[in-house]
């Protein structure tokens, strides 16, 4: 039986790269995102290229009812989820605390904390039930950030949401220990995806500047690391992994070529 991996935020960036990586290795996939066209195209491509089964599960992670009903009504043969990559998330704006937009803060809190919690809870329940009936283990891989380890100027609420992911990952690891569920937090530094374009609301020039003089991480780099964490022996769990490109020491210190 192929293993099943459930990836939120699979329409771009890390999530999409993970979908390719796991499909390449024969996993069946449940993929989520809001852009249904992209989701269906990805499903069609992966099914054709890698001969795997793909279930699309479009919902907005901020919509509690949609998350809970979509996941509880997954067809029975898809409920045996081995790995959750709880990745959907975003930054909105990069402004000093007093100047930042409340709307931006609400979107980040609703997506990166509340949506992340809804998905984590719904899938962990399925994993717990499966562990009780078959003894099989699950693995939850949470997408944190180095912004969840160290704050930076104008990072305020985005950093806070990733500090929350860090804290929740630690709590999940403790609470799910008795159910044999591994919990891994991945904390990347700057990676060139659609992240900055979303953060700067479509302003391509500002988004590009983030990577000026850098060879940043790619989505494929992060997917490789996630795949490595997910395929270690059953008794081994990477709890927390931070990764940056060579030119980045932490959230503040960079060695740019320009």
Contact set with ligand NDP (CB under 6 A): 8-15, 33-35, 60-62, 87-90, 111, 115, 143, 145, 188, 190-191, 193-195, 198
Site for ligand 8X3 in 163-192 (CB under 6 A): 189-190
Name which of ligand 8X3, ligand NDP, none residue 111 binds, using a CB cut-off of 5 to 8 Å depending on partner kind.
Answer: ligand NDP
Name which of ligand NDP, ligand 8X3, none residue 240 binds, using a CB cut-off of 5 to 8 Å depending on partner kind.
Answer: none
CB atoms inside a 10 Å sphere around CB 33: 25
Q: How far is the CB of 180 from ligand NDP (least distance, A)?
A: 26
Q: Which of 27, 50, 118, 158 is catalytic?
A: 158
Residue 4 makes contact with ligand 8X3 by CB under 6 A:
no
- Which residue, among 63, 161, 152, 50, has the nearest Cα to 112 in the 3D structure? 161
Residue 111 makes contact with ligand 8X3 by CB under 6 A:
no
Name which of ligand 8X3, ligand NDP, none residue 251 binds, using a CB cut-off of 5 to 8 Å depending on partner kind.
Answer: ligand 8X3
Among 147, 186, 217, 226, binds ligand 8X3 (CB under 6 A): 147
Q: How far is the CB of 93 from ligand 8X3 (least distance, A)?
A: 12
- In order of 22, 40, 80, 86, 92, the CA distances from 169 in angstroms are 22, 30, 22, 11, 22
What is the DSSP secondary structure assignment for residue 233, as one 8-state letter? -
E-strand stretches of 129-216: 138-143, 181-188
Q: How far is the CB of 143 from ligand 8X3 (least distance, A)?
A: 9
Among 32, 124, 145, 193, binds ligand 8X3 (CB under 6 A): 145
Strands 83-86 and 54-56: unpaired
Q: Which helix (H) or strand (E) holds 157?
A: helix 156-175
State residue 139 phi and psi, 5-degree precision: -140, 120
Residue nearest to ligand 8X3 (CB): 145
Residue 8 makes contact with ligand 8X3 by CB under 6 A:
no
Alpha carbons 246 and 229: distance in angstroms, whole number? 21
Active site (annotated) includes residue 211 = no
State residue 121 phi and psi, 5-degree precision: -70, -50
Alpha carbons 118 and 104: distance in angstroms, whole number? 20
Which residues in this chain contact ligand 8X3 in the complex, by CB under 6 A? 145-147, 155, 189-190, 251
């Amino acid at each position: 039986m192929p293993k099943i991996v459930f990836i939120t935020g699979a329409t771009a960036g890390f999530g999409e790269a993970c979908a390719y990586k796991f499909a390449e290795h024969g996993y069946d996939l449940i993929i989520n995102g809001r852009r249904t066209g992209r989701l269906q195209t990805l499903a069609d491509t992966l099914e054709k290229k890698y001969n795997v089964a793909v279930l699309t599960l479009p919902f907005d992670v901020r919509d509690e009812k949609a998350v809970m009903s979509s996941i509880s009504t997954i067809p029975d043969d898809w409920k045996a989820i081995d790995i959750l990559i709880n990745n959907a998330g975003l930054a909105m704006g990069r402004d000093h605390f007093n100047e930042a937009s409340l709307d931006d803060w609400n979107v980040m809190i609703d997506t990166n904390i509340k949506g992340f919690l809804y998905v984590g809870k719904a899938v962990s329940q399925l994993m717990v039930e499966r562990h009780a009936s078959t003894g099989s283990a699950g693995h939850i891989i949470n997408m944190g950030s180095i912004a969840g380890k160290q704050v930076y100027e104008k990072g305020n609420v985005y950093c806070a949401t990733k500090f929350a992911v860090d804290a929740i990952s630690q709590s999940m690891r403790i609470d799910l220990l008795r159910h044999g569920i591994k919990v891994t937090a991945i904390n990347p530094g700057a990676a060139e995806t659609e992240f900055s374009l979303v953060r700067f609301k479509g302003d391509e020039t500002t988004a590009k500047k983030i990577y000026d003089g850098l060879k940043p991480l790619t989505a494929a780099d992060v997917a490789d690391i996630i795949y490595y964490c997910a395929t270690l022996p059953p008794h081994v769990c990477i709890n927390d992994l931070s990764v940056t490109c060579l030119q980045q020491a932490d959230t503040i210190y960079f060695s740019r070529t320009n």
